[in-house]
Amino acid sequence: GDCVLEVNGEDVLGLRVSDIAARVRARELAVTLLLWNSGADPTCDPESLCCGPMPTSLQRLSSCMNGILATLECPVCLDTIPPPAHQCGNGHLICVRCRDR
Q: Domain for residue 70, yes or no?
A: no
Rounded distance between C-alpha atoms, residue 43 and residue 27, angstroms? 39
Rounded distance between C-alpha atoms, residue 56 and residue 7, angstroms? 24
Number of domains within the chain: 1
Where does the pLDDT of residue 45 fall: very low under 50, low under 70, confident under 90, or very high at 90 and above?
Answer: low
Q: Domain for residue 57, yes or no?
A: no
Q: Domain for residue 10, yes or no?
A: yes
Q: Domain for residue 83, yes or no?
A: no
Structural domain containing residue 21: 1-37
Query: Residue 28, Cα to own-chain centre: how many angstroms?
Result: 33
pTM of the model: 0.37
Q: Domain for residue 30, yes or no?
A: yes
Q: Domain for residue 51, yes or no?
A: no
Where does the pLDDT of residue 23 fall: very low under 50, low under 70, confident under 90, or very high at 90 and above?
Answer: confident
Answer yes or no: are the C-beta atoms of 32 and 19 closer than 8 Å: no
